[in-house]
């Protein structure tokens, strides 16, 4: 390995938007993330839909046809 080409690898703190702080080692001293294992829906079991433009409601209105068996499709 060549000397003086590798970045400094030191103690680092990763901060999540939920307030969780993780101590690790990295080439940057501080990092900020939006989602971590303490607040991610996959790990918490909580379903959260982040929707700012009403797209989820629009999709649900557009494709909610009620009972899928009685939604047309008379092939007989």
* Element housing 12 (H / E): strand 10-16
Domain count, the chain: 1
As a residue count, the chain comes to 76
Q: Rounded to whole angstroms, how far apart are CA atoms 42 and 74?
A: 40
Domain containing residue 19: CATH number: 4.10.80.400
Give domain status of residue 71, yes or no. Answer: no
Per the structure, the complete domain to which residue 27 belongs is given by 10-65
Q: Rounded to whole angstroms, how far apart are CA atoms 57 and 63?
A: 10
Give domain status of residue 33, yes or no. Answer: yes
Give domain status of residue 44, yes or no. Answer: yes
Give domain status of residue 70, yes or no. Answer: no
* pTM across the whole model: 0.50
Per-residue model confidence as pLDDT tens for the chain (76 residues): 788 898 889 999 999 988 899 999 999 999 998 888 888 777 677 766 666 667 777 787 888 765 555 555 555 4
């Amino acid at each position: 390995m060549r000397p003086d080409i590798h970045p400094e690898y030191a103690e680092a703190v990763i901060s999540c938007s939920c307030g969780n702080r993780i101590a690790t080692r990295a080439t940057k001293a501080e990092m900020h993330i939006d989602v971590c294992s303490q607040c991610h829906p996959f790990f918490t079991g909580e379903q959260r839909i982040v929707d700012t433009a009403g797209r989820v409601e629009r999709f649900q209105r557009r494709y909610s046809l009620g009972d899928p068996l009685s939604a047309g499709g008379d092939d007989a």
